[in-house]
Structure 1
Protein backbone atom coordinates (compact mmCIF):
# COMPACT_ATOMS: atom_id res chain seq x y z
CA UNK A 1 0.00 0.00 0.00
CA UNK A 2 1.45 3.35 -1.03
CA UNK A 3 0.63 6.51 0.91
CA UNK A 4 1.53 10.10 0.23
CA UNK A 5 2.52 10.67 3.85
CA UNK A 6 6.27 10.82 4.10
CA UNK A 7 7.18 9.69 7.60
CA UNK A 8 10.52 11.01 8.75
CA UNK A 9 10.26 9.42 12.19
CA UNK A 10 8.62 6.26 13.47
CA UNK A 11 5.77 6.33 15.98
CA UNK A 12 8.19 5.12 18.67
CA UNK A 13 10.58 7.98 17.88
CA UNK A 14 7.65 10.41 17.93
CA UNK A 15 6.65 9.19 21.39
CA UNK A 16 10.19 9.73 22.66
CA UNK A 17 10.28 13.27 21.24
CA UNK A 18 6.83 14.18 22.63
CA UNK A 19 7.47 12.85 26.14
CA UNK A 20 10.65 14.92 26.48
CA UNK A 21 8.48 18.03 26.81
CA UNK A 22 6.72 17.03 30.06
CA UNK A 23 9.72 15.16 31.44
CA UNK A 24 12.59 17.52 30.64
CA UNK A 25 11.02 20.93 30.02
CA UNK A 26 8.02 20.98 32.39
CA UNK A 27 9.38 18.82 35.23
CA UNK A 28 13.10 19.63 35.15
CA UNK A 29 12.72 23.20 33.86
CA UNK A 30 15.27 22.59 31.12
CA UNK A 31 14.00 25.08 28.53
CA UNK A 32 17.25 24.72 26.55
CA UNK A 33 15.80 21.42 25.29
CA UNK A 34 13.06 23.32 23.44
CA UNK A 35 15.43 24.22 20.58
CA UNK A 36 16.32 20.55 20.18
CA UNK A 37 12.81 19.08 20.28
CA UNK A 38 10.59 21.86 18.88
CA UNK A 39 10.30 23.46 15.47
CA UNK A 40 11.24 27.14 15.44
CA UNK A 41 7.63 28.08 14.62
CA UNK A 42 6.05 25.66 17.13
CA UNK A 43 2.49 26.45 18.24
CA UNK A 44 1.25 25.50 21.71
CA UNK A 45 -2.51 25.72 22.43
CA UNK A 46 -3.45 25.73 26.12
CA UNK A 47 -5.71 27.48 28.65
CA UNK A 48 -2.85 29.99 29.07
CA UNK A 49 -3.34 31.06 25.46
CA UNK A 50 -1.56 30.31 22.24
CA UNK A 51 2.23 30.41 22.38
CA UNK A 52 3.86 30.83 18.97
CA UNK A 53 7.54 30.16 18.51
CA UNK A 54 10.28 29.03 20.84
CA UNK A 55 10.58 32.31 22.76
CA UNK A 56 6.87 32.53 23.65
CA UNK A 57 6.84 28.85 24.59
CA UNK A 58 9.88 29.30 26.83
CA UNK A 59 8.25 32.34 28.50
CA UNK A 60 5.07 30.34 29.08
CA UNK A 61 6.97 27.46 30.68
CA UNK A 62 8.94 29.83 32.93
CA UNK A 63 5.68 31.51 34.00
CA UNK A 64 4.13 28.12 34.82
CA UNK A 65 7.16 26.97 36.80
CA UNK A 66 7.26 30.26 38.75
CA UNK A 67 3.55 30.00 39.58
CA UNK A 68 3.94 26.44 40.84
CA UNK A 69 6.96 25.45 42.89
CA UNK A 70 8.14 21.85 42.51
CA UNK A 71 6.05 21.57 39.32
CA UNK A 72 6.07 18.12 37.71
CA UNK A 73 4.41 16.47 34.74
CA UNK A 74 4.34 12.66 34.83
CA UNK A 75 3.48 10.77 31.64
CA UNK A 76 0.99 8.06 32.62
CA UNK A 77 -0.02 6.78 29.16
CA UNK A 78 1.24 7.47 25.67
CA UNK A 79 -0.03 6.34 22.27
CA UNK A 80 0.93 7.40 18.77
CA UNK A 81 -0.39 7.08 15.26
CA UNK A 82 1.23 8.69 12.26
CA UNK A 83 2.59 12.10 13.21
CA UNK A 84 0.38 12.50 16.32
CA UNK A 85 1.21 11.49 19.90
CA UNK A 86 -1.43 11.47 22.65
CA UNK A 87 -0.39 11.53 26.31
CA UNK A 88 -2.25 11.33 29.59
CA UNK A 89 -0.15 13.32 32.05
CA UNK A 90 -0.49 14.02 35.77
CA UNK A 91 0.47 17.55 36.82
CA UNK A 92 1.55 18.29 40.39
CA UNK A 93 2.94 21.28 42.21
CA UNK A 94 2.57 23.88 44.93
CA UNK A 95 0.94 27.25 44.25
CA UNK A 96 3.82 29.67 44.94
CA UNK A 97 3.10 32.53 42.51
CA UNK A 98 0.18 34.35 40.87
CA UNK A 99 -1.69 32.17 38.38
CA UNK A 100 -4.65 33.22 36.22
CA UNK A 101 -5.46 36.05 38.63
CA UNK A 102 -5.18 33.87 41.74
CA UNK A 103 -2.65 35.01 44.32
CA UNK A 104 -0.37 32.28 45.79
CA UNK A 105 -2.19 30.00 48.22
CA UNK A 106 0.64 27.61 49.14
CA UNK A 107 -1.71 24.73 48.34
CA UNK A 108 -0.58 21.55 46.59
CA UNK A 109 -2.44 20.26 43.56
CA UNK A 110 -2.64 17.15 41.41
CA UNK A 111 -4.66 17.17 38.19
CA UNK A 112 -4.94 15.24 34.96
CA UNK A 113 -3.81 16.68 31.64
CA UNK A 114 -4.36 15.51 28.06
CA UNK A 115 -1.73 16.48 25.50
CA UNK A 116 -1.81 15.90 21.76
CA UNK A 117 1.48 16.55 19.98
CA UNK A 118 2.07 16.75 16.24
CA UNK A 119 5.58 15.86 15.10
CA UNK A 120 6.94 17.19 11.82
CA UNK A 121 10.45 16.42 10.52
CA UNK A 122 11.47 14.98 13.90
CA UNK A 123 10.40 18.03 15.94
CA UNK A 124 7.30 19.15 17.81
CA UNK A 125 5.34 21.37 15.42
CA UNK A 126 2.16 21.80 17.44
CA UNK A 127 0.72 20.85 20.84
CA UNK A 128 -2.80 20.91 22.22
CA UNK A 129 -2.74 20.90 26.04
CA UNK A 130 -5.96 20.35 28.03
CA UNK A 131 -5.38 20.21 31.79
CA UNK A 132 -8.21 19.83 34.30
CA UNK A 133 -8.28 23.58 34.91
CA UNK A 134 -11.50 23.44 36.96
CA UNK A 135 -10.00 20.76 39.22
CA UNK A 136 -6.84 22.86 39.58
CA UNK A 137 -8.80 25.99 40.54
CA UNK A 138 -10.88 23.98 43.02
CA UNK A 139 -7.73 22.56 44.66
CA UNK A 140 -6.25 26.08 44.86
CA UNK A 141 -9.46 27.27 46.56
CA UNK A 142 -10.17 29.77 43.76
CA UNK A 143 -13.57 28.25 42.94
CA UNK A 144 -16.00 26.17 44.96
CA UNK A 145 -16.88 22.62 44.01
CA UNK A 146 -20.44 22.53 42.68
CA UNK A 147 -22.98 20.97 45.00
CA UNK A 148 -24.74 17.81 43.84
Structure 2
Protein backbone atom coordinates (compact mmCIF):
# COMPACT_ATOMS: atom_id res chain seq x y z
CA UNK A 1 0.00 0.00 0.00
CA UNK A 2 1.34 3.40 -1.01
CA UNK A 3 2.08 5.81 1.86
CA UNK A 4 -0.07 8.91 1.99
CA UNK A 5 1.52 12.30 1.38
CA UNK A 6 1.44 14.62 4.44
CA UNK A 7 -1.39 16.67 2.86
CA UNK A 8 -3.44 13.50 2.41
CA UNK A 9 -2.85 12.44 6.03
CA UNK A 10 -4.01 15.81 7.36
CA UNK A 11 -7.01 15.96 5.00
CA UNK A 12 -8.12 12.51 6.12
CA UNK A 13 -7.54 13.55 9.76
CA UNK A 14 -9.89 16.53 9.28
CA UNK A 15 -12.47 14.53 7.33
CA UNK A 16 -12.63 11.69 9.84
CA UNK A 17 -11.24 12.60 13.28
CA UNK A 18 -11.31 16.40 13.74
CA UNK A 19 -14.83 16.48 12.26
CA UNK A 20 -16.00 13.96 14.86
CA UNK A 21 -17.29 11.60 12.17
CA UNK A 22 -14.86 8.72 12.82
CA UNK A 23 -13.00 9.18 16.11
CA UNK A 24 -11.75 5.57 15.98
CA UNK A 25 -9.44 6.55 13.11
CA UNK A 26 -7.28 8.70 15.42
CA UNK A 27 -4.64 5.98 16.03
CA UNK A 28 -4.25 5.45 12.27
CA UNK A 29 -3.53 9.13 11.65
CA UNK A 30 -1.76 10.28 14.82
CA UNK A 31 1.51 9.17 16.36
CA UNK A 32 1.38 7.54 19.82
CA UNK A 33 2.38 10.91 21.35
CA UNK A 34 1.58 14.17 19.59
CA UNK A 35 2.92 17.50 20.79
CA UNK A 36 0.16 20.11 20.50
CA UNK A 37 1.62 23.62 20.70
CA UNK A 38 -1.22 25.98 21.60
CA UNK A 39 -0.04 29.38 20.41
CA UNK A 40 -1.65 31.97 22.68
CA UNK A 41 -0.56 35.57 23.04
CA UNK A 42 -0.78 35.43 26.83
CA UNK A 43 1.04 32.13 27.30
CA UNK A 44 2.14 29.47 24.84
CA UNK A 45 1.39 25.97 26.07
CA UNK A 46 2.49 22.57 24.76
CA UNK A 47 0.21 19.65 25.52
CA UNK A 48 1.14 16.03 24.86
CA UNK A 49 -1.79 14.09 23.42
CA UNK A 50 -2.33 10.47 22.53
CA UNK A 51 -4.79 9.57 19.77
CA UNK A 52 -7.26 8.43 22.45
CA UNK A 53 -6.98 11.71 24.40
CA UNK A 54 -7.45 13.65 21.15
CA UNK A 55 -10.60 11.63 20.34
CA UNK A 56 -11.92 12.49 23.83
CA UNK A 57 -11.16 16.16 23.11
CA UNK A 58 -13.24 16.05 19.92
CA UNK A 59 -16.02 14.22 21.80
CA UNK A 60 -16.06 17.12 24.30
CA UNK A 61 -16.55 19.50 21.36
CA UNK A 62 -19.43 17.34 20.11
CA UNK A 63 -20.96 17.39 23.61
CA UNK A 64 -20.66 21.19 23.73
CA UNK A 65 -21.58 22.09 20.13
CA UNK A 66 -23.45 19.09 18.75
CA UNK A 67 -22.63 17.61 15.35
CA UNK A 68 -20.81 20.71 14.11
CA UNK A 69 -19.83 21.49 10.54
CA UNK A 70 -16.14 21.79 9.77
CA UNK A 71 -15.18 23.70 6.65
CA UNK A 72 -11.53 23.47 5.65
CA UNK A 73 -10.94 26.82 3.97
CA UNK A 74 -7.29 26.31 3.09
CA UNK A 75 -4.88 23.36 3.13
CA UNK A 76 -1.29 23.83 1.95
CA UNK A 77 1.63 21.44 2.22
CA UNK A 78 5.38 21.85 2.07
CA UNK A 79 7.56 18.87 2.89
CA UNK A 80 6.46 17.36 6.19
CA UNK A 81 4.41 20.47 7.17
CA UNK A 82 0.75 21.07 6.33
CA UNK A 83 -1.06 24.34 7.04
CA UNK A 84 -4.84 24.20 7.55
CA UNK A 85 -7.29 27.04 8.15
CA UNK A 86 -10.88 26.15 9.07
CA UNK A 87 -14.28 27.34 10.21
CA UNK A 88 -16.24 25.22 12.66
CA UNK A 89 -19.93 26.01 13.20
CA UNK A 90 -21.91 24.35 15.95
CA UNK A 91 -24.89 24.87 18.23
CA UNK A 92 -24.22 25.60 21.89
CA UNK A 93 -25.88 22.53 23.48
CA UNK A 94 -23.54 21.89 26.42
CA UNK A 95 -21.80 24.03 29.03
CA UNK A 96 -18.74 25.86 27.70
CA UNK A 97 -16.40 27.79 29.99
CA UNK A 98 -19.17 28.24 32.56
CA UNK A 99 -21.77 29.36 29.99
CA UNK A 100 -24.92 27.20 30.08
CA UNK A 101 -26.31 25.94 26.75
CA UNK A 102 -28.22 28.52 24.73
CA UNK A 103 -29.11 26.57 21.58
CA UNK A 104 -27.53 29.38 19.55
CA UNK A 105 -24.75 29.04 16.96
CA UNK A 106 -21.06 29.39 17.84
CA UNK A 107 -18.36 29.75 15.18
CA UNK A 108 -14.71 28.90 15.71
CA UNK A 109 -12.08 30.24 13.33
CA UNK A 110 -8.70 28.55 13.64
CA UNK A 111 -5.56 27.46 11.86
CA UNK A 112 -2.75 25.05 12.53
CA UNK A 113 0.47 23.74 11.07
CA UNK A 114 0.79 19.96 11.29
CA UNK A 115 4.06 18.04 11.10
CA UNK A 116 3.66 14.57 9.62
CA UNK A 117 6.25 11.87 10.33
CA UNK A 118 6.05 8.29 9.07
CA UNK A 119 2.53 8.84 7.75
CA UNK A 120 1.11 10.15 11.03
CA UNK A 121 0.62 13.55 12.67
CA UNK A 122 3.45 13.95 15.18
CA UNK A 123 3.18 17.61 16.16
CA UNK A 124 1.10 20.70 15.53
CA UNK A 125 0.94 24.41 16.28
CA UNK A 126 -2.63 25.74 16.63
CA UNK A 127 -4.11 29.22 16.84
CA UNK A 128 -7.79 29.74 17.68
CA UNK A 129 -9.77 32.98 17.87
CA UNK A 130 -10.59 32.38 21.53
CA UNK A 131 -11.62 36.01 22.11
CA UNK A 132 -14.17 35.69 19.30
CA UNK A 133 -15.63 32.53 20.84
CA UNK A 134 -15.86 34.27 24.24
CA UNK A 135 -17.71 37.24 22.66
CA UNK A 136 -20.18 34.86 21.01
CA UNK A 137 -20.80 32.97 24.25
CA UNK A 138 -21.43 36.25 26.13
CA UNK A 139 -23.73 37.57 23.40
CA UNK A 140 -25.62 34.27 23.21
CA UNK A 141 -26.03 34.17 27.01
CA UNK A 142 -27.45 37.70 26.94
CA UNK A 143 -29.82 36.84 24.05
CA UNK A 144 -30.97 33.63 25.73
CA UNK A 145 -31.49 35.53 29.02
CA UNK A 146 -33.50 38.23 27.25
CA UNK A 147 -35.63 35.61 25.47
CA UNK A 148 -36.31 33.83 28.78
CA UNK A 149 -37.24 37.10 30.47
CA UNK A 150 -39.58 38.01 27.60
CA UNK A 151 -41.20 34.59 27.60
CA UNK A 152 -41.59 34.74 31.40
CA UNK A 153 -43.14 38.20 31.21
CA UNK A 154 -45.59 37.12 28.51
CA UNK A 155 -46.93 34.34 30.71
CA UNK A 156 -48.12 36.76 33.43
TM-score scaled to structure 2, two decimals?
A: 0.75
Select the structure that is richer in helix. 2
Runs of 4+ aligned structure 1 residues displaced above 3 Å come to 45-49
Find 1:40's aligned residue among 13, 21, 32. 32
Gaps of 5+ in 1: 1-8, 144-148
- Which of 90, 100, 125 is the matching residue for 1:93? 90
SS of residue in 2 equivalent to 1:137: helix
Mapped to 2, the partners of 1:115 and 1:140 lie a distance apart of: 23
| Structure (1 or 2) with the larger CA radius of gyration | 2
Residue 54 (structure 1) aligned to one of 51, 73, 87: 51
Q: Deviation of residue 110 (structure 1)?
A: 2.2
Distance 1:49 1:91, change over 3 A: farther
Unaligned runs of 5+ in 2: 141-156
CA deviations over 1:75-103 (Å, ceiling 9, x no partner): 11111112110011111101111122222
Structure 1 or 2: more strand by fraction: 1
1:26 aligns with 2:18: yes
For 1:34 and 1:137, locate their aligned partners in 2 and report how far apart those are by CA, in whole Å: 28
